[in-house]
């Protein structure tokens, strides 16, 4: 993954109104007896463009910062469920209303990493997570993982997750840099939840 890791009178004589109105007459750029002024025309066009472009850029910035962002999958750590060069939409809004849930695919922005990572949440705050012969255990009970994933013979001693910390794994367990190596991740490091795979079109999926 890289740090990319993509949404509106009637007329009465001698009477004035305090209401703002919009003119439906097109700007003509004509002045002083009907002579067209190229300078005025370009000023009008430039002003109109600014009125459209600036709000559009602000809206795009707000969406990117607070609501959603598009990103691209790089690497193999989430195979077979996510593969390289697939394009995703990351939902940044949901976790403002509820915490991450188990099995959510999330994008991480870790201070020690140059690029953002995509992983799956498997352990929640307060739980004890362990791995025995490749099987994930939550509070001592084997956790059934309904999604396809690579199981490798790997053991990990039990670890208790502190408040606001989550245990994340790649679905490709044999080729993933995840909480087994860098430890549990804090809630603040979770950028958002992978909501949509939109490319390739024939693989479009809502998660």
Question: Which tens digits make up the pLDDT trace of 186-195?
Answer: 999 999 999 9
25 inside domain: no
User: Mean pLDDT across the stretch 165-193?
Assistant: 95
Query: Is the residue at 34 inside a domain?
Result: no
52-109 pLDDT, tens per residue?
665 555 555 554 454 558 889 999 999 999 999 999 999 999 998 999 999 999 999 9
Measuring CA to CA, which residue among 83, 78, 173, 159 is closest to residue 124? 159
In a domain, 50, yes or no: no
Q: Of 204, 133, 117, which Cα lies nearest the Cα of 166?
A: 117
Is there a domain that residue 116 lies in? yes
Residue in the structure block whose two tokens are 């691209």 = 72
Angle at Cα 96 formed by Cα 91 and Cα 102, nearest 5°?
Answer: 70
Which of the residues are catalytic?
77, 119
- Output the DSSP codes for 7-45: ------TT----S-----SPP--EETTTEE-HHHHHHHH
Number of Cβ within a 10 Å radius of residue 187: 13
Q: Is 37 a domain residue?
A: no
Q: Which residue range(s) make up the domain with 105?
A: 68-206
pLDDT score at 29: 40
CB 154 within 8 Å of CB 134: yes
Task: Of 118, 79, 130, 123, give the one whose Cα is nearest residue 101.
Answer: 123
Is residue 6 included in any domain, yes or no?
A: no
Instruction: Choose between 198 and 7: higher pLDDT.
Output: 198
DSSP string, the chain: --TT--------TT----S-----SPP--EETTTEE-HHHHHHHHHHHHHHHHHHHHHHHHHIIIIIEEEEE--SSTTTTTS-TT-EEEEE-SGGGTS---TT-EEEE--TT-SS-EEEEEEE-TT-EEEEETTEEEETTEEPP--S--B-----EEEEEPPTTEEEEE-SBGGG--SHHHH--EEGGGEEEEEEEEEESGGG-EE-
Q: Is residue 20 part of a domain?
A: no
Residue 61 has a pLDDT of 52
Across the range 32-38, mean pLDDT stands at 50
* Total domains present in the chain: 1
Tokens for 145? Answer: 């993982």
Whole-number average pLDDT of the chain: 79
Residue 32 lies in a domain: no
Residue 191 is part of a domain; what is its CATH number? Answer: 2.10.109.10
Given pLDDT bands bounded at 50, 70 and 90, which one contains residue 51?
low
pTM of the model: 0.69
Does 27 have pLDDT greater than 60? no
């Amino acid at each position: 993954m890289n740090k990319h890791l993509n949404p509106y009178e009637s007329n009465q004589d001698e009477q004035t109104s305090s209401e703002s109105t919009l003119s439906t007459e097109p700007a003509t750029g004509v002045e002083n007896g009907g002579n067209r002024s190229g300078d005025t025309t370009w000023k009008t066009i430039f002003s109109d463009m600014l009125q459209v472009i600036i709000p559009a850029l602000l809206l795009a910035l707000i969406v990117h910062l607070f609501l959603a962002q598009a990103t691209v999958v790089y690497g193999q750590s989430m195979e077979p469920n996510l593969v390289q060069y697939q394009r995703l939409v990351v939902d940044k809004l949901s976790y403002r209303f509820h915490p991450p849930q188990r099995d959510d695919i999330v994008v991480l922005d870790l201070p020690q990493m140059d690029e953002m990572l995509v992983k799956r949440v498997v352990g929640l705050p307060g739980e004890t997570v362990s791995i025995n012969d490749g099987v994930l255990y939550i509070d001592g009970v084997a956790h059934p993982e309904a999604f396809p994933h690579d199981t490798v013979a790997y053991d990990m001693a039990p670890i208790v997750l502190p408040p606001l910390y989550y245990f994340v794994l790649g679905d490709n367990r044999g080729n993933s840099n995840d909480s087994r190596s860098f430890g549990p991740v804090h809630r603040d490091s979770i950028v958002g939840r992978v909501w949509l795979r939109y490319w390739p079109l024939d693989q479009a999926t809502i998660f």
